[in-house]
Each structure stands twice: as structure tokens, then as C-alpha cells.
Amino acid sequence: MEQTFSIIKPDAVKRNLIGHINQIIEAAGLNVIASKKMYLTKQQAEIFYSAHKERPFFDSLVSYMTSGPVQVQVLEGGEAVSTYRKIMGATNPEEAEEGTIRKLYAESIEANSVHGSDSSENAKIEINFFFAGSELV
Ligand code: IDP
Ligand code: MG
């Protein structure tokens, strides 16, 4: 069993897509073991995306991620990191495969509906940033 970290981003929360997205997640065999709605602060968004701070889209990304509530979640299952990345689809929805969350729901390369950890190591860091161990059920 592996865990990964997911964010349902502001564009998707705004369009009432939490249930639709979690249906795809559960159909892929992943369990949602923690889930909460919150507003990211500017500081949280900057820290979360600090790997991208030199990128030209960084300020816009931080302002988008703080533009409305997000749903932060922990997913658990066999090969959770790669399974979730596969059902998310490519970062740019124009390049995402049919049936993926981003192909179905993303509005743009920035407002692309979901985040998923890119490795098991980063998943642990991201989960610990948002959840206490006692919240993982
Ligand atoms: P990922 O979310 O598929 O792992 P990353 O390269 O880690 O993609 O980028 C993090 C987030 O930054 C993306 O999900 C997207 O919201 C945003 N982003 C990535 N590339 C661009 C871009 O070229 N323009 C605008 N936003 C971008
Ligand atoms: Mg990434």
C-alpha cells in the first residue's frame, strides 16, 4: 500500500466537481483516507510550489491556487502515486489522454483541476504539510 497527496484545485471546486473527481479516483481502486476543504494562504501556496519559484508562471500559479477553496486529500492504494498520475492526465489538458481527469475537466494548463504528488518521497512531504497523522483514516 502506498499513499499519495491530491489537491482538487479552485477551478474544479468552484464547478462542484469534487464528487465527480472522487468517483474516478475510487473507480481506479484508490481510497480517499483523508479529505478537507480549505483556503490555501499565499505562504502555503508559495511553499507548496517552491520547486517552481523561478518559473515565469509562479506568481500567477500562487494567485490562482489562492483564488478559492481547494479540497486537499490523501489517497491510498497499490502504486498510488503512479496510478493517480495516470488518471490525472498530462499537465496540459490539450495533451491529456481521453478519460483522464484533466482531459475531462481542466480549463487550461494552469487551471488544470488537480494536483498529484510526483514521487512517494514528495507524497510524504506534501501529506505531512497538510495533515496530522491522526487525520489519516
Ligand atoms: P503537474 O501538476 O502535472 O505535476 P508541474 O510541472 O509540477 O505539473 O506544475 C505545477 C502546476 O503549475 C501545474 O499543475 C499547473 O497548475 C501549473 N503550470 C505548469 N506549467 C505551467 C505553464 O506553462 N503555465 C501556467 N501554469 C503552469
Ligand atoms: Mg508537479
- Spatial distance between the Cα atoms of 88 and 93, rounded to a whole number of angstroms: 10
CB 30 within 8 A of CB 77: yes
* Ligand 1 atom 14, closest CA: 91
Which amino acids bring their CB within 6 angstroms of ligand 1?
52, 57, 61, 91, 109-110, 112, 115, 118
How many Cβ atoms sit within 10 Å of the Cβ of residue 18?
16
CA dihedral 95, 14, 24, 109 (to 10 degrees): 10
CB 32 within 8 A of CB 4: no
Digit-coded pLDDT (tens) for 13-67: 999 999 999 999 999 999 999 999 999 999 999 999 999 999 999 999 999 999 9
Beta-bridge partner residues of 38: 70
- Spatial distance between the Cα atoms of 49 and 2, rounded to a whole number of angstroms: 22
Confidence of residue 128 (pLDDT cuts 50, 70, 90): very high
- For the chain, the average pLDDT equals 98
Look at residue 13 and give its three-state secondary structure: helix
* Ligand 1 atom 16, closest CA: 110
pTM of the model as a whole? 0.98
CA–centroid distance, residue 101 to ligand 1 (Å) = 15
Ligand found nearest the CA of 96 = 1
Closest by CA position to 70, among listed 99, 106, 41: 41
Q: Say whether 115 is catalytic.
A: yes
Q: How many CA atoms lie within 13 A of 62 on its CB side?
A: 18
Digit-coded pLDDT (tens) for 92-101: 999 999 999 9
pLDDT for the residue numbered 22: 99
pLDDT for the residue numbered 96: 98
